[in-house]
Structure 1
Amino acid sequence: MAKGRVSVCCLLLFLMMSLLTGCWDRRELEERTSVIAIGIDMVEGKKNMYKLTVQIPIPIKIAGSSGQGGGGNKDAVKIMSVTGKTVVDASNNLQQRLNQRIFLGHTRVLAISEEVARRGIDDIIDAFRRDPQIRRLMWPVIVQGKASDLLEMKPGLIQIPVVFLMDLIENGTKMGIIPDQTMGEYLIQTSNETMQPMLNYVKAYKDDVKWKGVAVFRGQKMVGSLNDIQTWPLLQLRDEKRGGDVVVPLPGTKGGYVAFRPHFVTTKLKMNGSHAAGQKHHNGHAVTYFCEVQGDIVEMTQKPQGSPEEVIRMLQKLFKEEMEKRARKMLDILQNQYNSDILKLGLALRGHHYNDYWRHHNWFKDFKEFPIDVKYTVKLRRLGMEMH
């Protein structure tokens, strides 16, 4: 009886195993053409044609592959360009020139030229939004000039050129000086009626690439940009990121400078206004950003006069005024030049003043004239070591 039961169990086990399906649609990595970066430009002389440039790594020529030494940047990647009426049309044209199936699951950078961005990128983003292979952690960037230049640069520090840009942005976000604007963040911002999107703005050179600030959008059309110094107060007010160093002339000296490096940023948003329903004007509604920044003095080219206590008070006031000046300049550009709320201020207003303000106003029109103020508090933690 025991042997019979064992036989029945084994038979049932084999029958169950026969129902298990295998990887019928598997595809080996060697049978795919992995695209690591995509660049999109307009075709010169043709109004409605896109030029799609891709950067394809060649695994066998990358240093360390198969135990062999790799070649230089020129040999480690393949650059290909095609044209098409749409992104999908261009991708189909690219597939006809490749011996393996295109795979976008490893694509890390989407470079879009400023010319394309100012025309509007809603049709371009639509293709990537619908593709399940696209990673939401991909970095979309706007390129000053041609996007293909970014893919064709040859930095000497790394084999795959676009990895240089990836490391630049990723390290910048960790340091708090570059916005963490991934494809997922952009899709969230364009799907939310309370905010406007932005993307990192770069310029490609022959041997490297430089981060220049952020491209400001209204809807999905680029309307302008903020440089690096204007972007840092945006990061402090919106994301509590530290931003870059502040270098200003040192009062009471001839040609002296002092540099302040923020380390900790805390921002609070105070919203004034009545919660009574039916209020239809700005009267009483205003916001103030209170930003506290703690940091160190990292450079002082000349020694100021006064006691240590007086010097500390003077420096704190100096950087407070400079950072408020930069923040107000940034707000003036966003409101009066671009009328684009990349601060996410509309999100806070809708959450706290929906009945008395949000439902009665068109925020994308009213943002331009909405009262916004900013006040900084600067605290010096360390002045650094010096020789006497």
Structure 2
Amino acid sequence: MDKRWRFVCMLLIGICMLTGCWDRRELEERASVLAIAVDVDEENEKNYRMTVQIPIPIKIAGSSSRSSQGGGSNTDAVKIMSVTGRTITDATNNLQLRLNQRLFLGHTRVLAVSEEIAREGIEHIMDWFRREPQIRRLLWPIIVKGKAASLLEIKPELAQIPVVFIMDLIENGKKMGIIPDKTLGDYFNATSNKAMQPLLNYVEASRNEVKWKGIAIFRNHRMVGSLNPNHTWSLLQIRDKKRGGDVVVKLPGTEDDYVTFRPHFVDTNLEMRLHGAREDGIEAIYHCEVQGDIVEITKQGFHKGSPEKFIKDMEALIKREMEERANQMIEKVQKQYNSDIFKLGLKLRGHHYRDYWIKHDWNQDFKNFPIRVEYTIKLRRLGMEMQ
């Protein structure tokens, strides 16, 4: 009998400890924000104008209530709302006052910030996104040339929800190795570390499309410049071992003929070598090996020599072009922007802490730190050619 009572007591205690769905909230009772854009209010420059994109579930294609009608278009599948506020919190509170459902930010995937605000500094904006528990660290902050709200107002024909088109653009570019995967968490990590500086994707939006223009470079939460796609691909190769985009090189001895090289595999090693007579003199050398194919030559019969000589000549030609691009990129990042987006400071602090790091102010000395890039090009395929 004692065992039975003991079992009943344990069962009752276990039932009391079980949790239920007492605080559940249906999806239809939430206003899920997919994207947020932050601009300067035109009427009052001291205020922010926050624009959000909220999907309308009943108008999205595939919903049961509209399956017979074929769903909605990208015109009516989302709701675009704009509010103003002195701070991001103030603007969010003003937005909630205009909604009949509770605002939910757990599904937010894109944060668009205008270039105007980015050049003034975004530390005070990012403070709210760092503190808000609903915000995911995997969302993509994007700097927009012009108004940030234009990124949310596009009407792409390839996607029903505009923000999904933007997400696919970045996701596919990341998989192809031509667009950096820079999330909100990456930005927080970079700005919390004195040995590196952040970078974000830089786009321009028109009525029907979005164009990726490269990256925006930051220094202490303030945008100081940008890199075009060619220079961004050089950065991705030497820093992240990403393949980057195709390399179009003008053929020597021609007026308007080109060869196109498509990288496939990239392997980069960073070497820190003693430099100069000073004891703490160090230089960084990136050894970058790129394997790829020639996918196009606009001038037929350009090379009359042996195939072996043709391969060597093409490798040397592509090597000069890629090293020239990389050196131009390094010159701009160091001398013009003075922002360590290479993560060189992490290497120096980890391996040369006593003999270099504690003796220098990296934020000031980075612009004069010697950096070299040496490319090794290996052609794998030349493509098929009719003889």
Per the normalisation by structure 1, the TM-score is 0.95
Tell me whether 1:308 sits opposite 2:310 in the alignment.
no
Match for 2:166: what amino acid?
L
Residue of structure 2 equivalent to 1:33? 31
Structure 2 CA distance for partners of 1:282 and 1:65, relative to 1, 3 Å:
farther
Q: Render the CA deviation track for 1:162-187: whole Å, top value 9, x for unaligned.
A: 11111001100111011110111111
Could you tell me whether the CA contact under 8 Å between 1:243 and 1:262 is conserved in 2?
Answer: yes
Give the deviation of 1:16 after TM superposition: 2.5
Which segments of 5 or more consecutive residues in structure 2 lack a partner in the other structure? none
1:270-314, CA deviations, whole angstroms, 9 ceiling, x for partnerless residues? Answer: 11238xxxx9x7863111111110000011112322211111011
Residue 10 of structure 2 aligns to a residue whose secondary structure is helix
Alignment of structure 1 residues 169-248 onto 2, 5 Å: 169-248=170-249
Deviation at 1:250, TM superposition (A): 1.6
SS at match of 1:154: coil
Match for residue 43 of structure 1?
Answer: 41
2:101 partner amino acid = Q
Offset, 1:269: 0.9
Contact 1:53 1:80 in 2 (8 A): yes
> How big is the shift at 1:12?
3.4
Matched length: 381
Question: 1:328-351 CA deviation, whole Å, 9 max, x = no partner?
Answer: 000000011100110111111111
Distance 1:264 1:225 in 2: 26
List gaps (5 residues or longer) in structure 1: none
Q: Does 1:287 align with 2:296?
A: no
Given that 2:262 and 2:294 are in contact with CA atoms closer than 8 Å, whether structure 1 keeps it comes out as yes
Structure 1 outlier segments of 4+, above 6 Å: none
Whichever residue aligns with residue 233 of structure 1, its letter is: S
> CA–CA distance in 1 between the matches of 2:280 and 2:356?
10
SS of alignment partner, residue 309 of structure 2: helix
Q: SS of 2:224's equivalent? A: strand
Instruction: Quote the Cα distance in structure 2 between the aligned partners of 1:282 and 1:5.
Output: 80
User: When the two structures are superposed, what TM-score results if normalisation uses the length of structure 2?
Assistant: 0.95
1:267 aligns with 2:265: no
In structure 2, what is the equivalent of residue 166 of structure 1?
A: 167
Q: How does 1:126-165 map to 2 (within 5 A)?
A: 126-165=127-166
Q: Does the 8 Å contact 1:282/1:370 carry over to 2?
A: no
| Contact 2:280/2:355 (<8 A) preserved | no
Please give the alpha-carbon distance, in whole angstroms, between the structure 1 residues aligned to 2:279 and 2:244: 31
- For residues 219-248 of structure 1, give each alpha carbon's deviation from its aligned partner in whole angstroms, at most 9, with x where no partner exists: 100001001011001000110000100001
Residue in structure 1 matched with residue 77 of structure 2 by the alignment:
76
The structure 1 residue matched to 2:293, chosen from 284, 292, 296, is 296
Q: Distance in 2 between matches of 1:45 and 1:30?
A: 35
Structure 1 window deviating more from structure 2 (43-52 vs 54-63): it is 43-52
User: For the aligned residues, what is the CA RMSD?
Assistant: 1.6
In 1, Cα distance between the equivalents of 2:368 and 2:254?
40
Cα distance per residue 1:312-332 (max 9 Å; x no partner):
011000000000000000000
Question: 1:79: how far off?
Answer: 0.1
Q: Note if contact 1:253-1:304 (Cα within 8 Å) is conserved in structure 2.
A: no
* Contact kept? 2:280, 2:356, Cα under 8 Å: no
Q: Distance in 1 between matches of 2:344 and 2:17?
A: 56
Matched to 1:12, the amino acid is M
Q: Helix, strand or coil: the match of 1:106? A: coil
Alignment check: 8 A CA contact 1:324 1:375 kept: yes
Q: Does 1:372 align with 2:371?
A: yes
The alpha-carbon deviation at position 18 of structure 1 amounts to 2.4
Taking the aligned partners of 1:304 and 1:221, their CA distance within structure 2 comes to: 48
The residue aligned with 1:387 is 386
SS at the partner of 2:75? Answer: helix
Counterpart of 1:360 in structure 2 is 359
Letter in 2 for 1:183: L
Tell me the CA shift for residue 26 of structure 1.
1.9
Aligned identity (percent) is 64
CA separation in 2, counterparts of 1:310 and 1:19? 78
Moved more, 22-31 or 72-81: 22-31
- Report the counterpart of residue 335 of structure 2 in structure 1: 336
Checking the alignment, whether the CA contact within 8 Å between 1:312 and 1:380 is kept in structure 2 is yes
Give the counterpart of 1:17 among 15, 18, 28. 15
- Paired letter, 1:201: Y
Task: Label 1:32 to 1:282 Cα distance change in 2 as closer, same or farther (>3 A).
Answer: farther
Q: Distance in 2 between matches of 1:66 and 1:273?
A: 68
Measured in 2, the distance between the counterparts of 1:19 and 1:285 equals 62
**TM-superposed deviation, 1:20:** 2.4
Structure 1 residue 387 displacement after superposition: 1.1
Q: Distance in 2 between matches of 1:282 and 1:25?
A: 65
What is the distance in 2 between the residues matched to 1:25 and 1:205? 43
Q: Which secondary structure state, in structure 1, belongs to the residue aligned with residue 152 of structure 2? A: helix
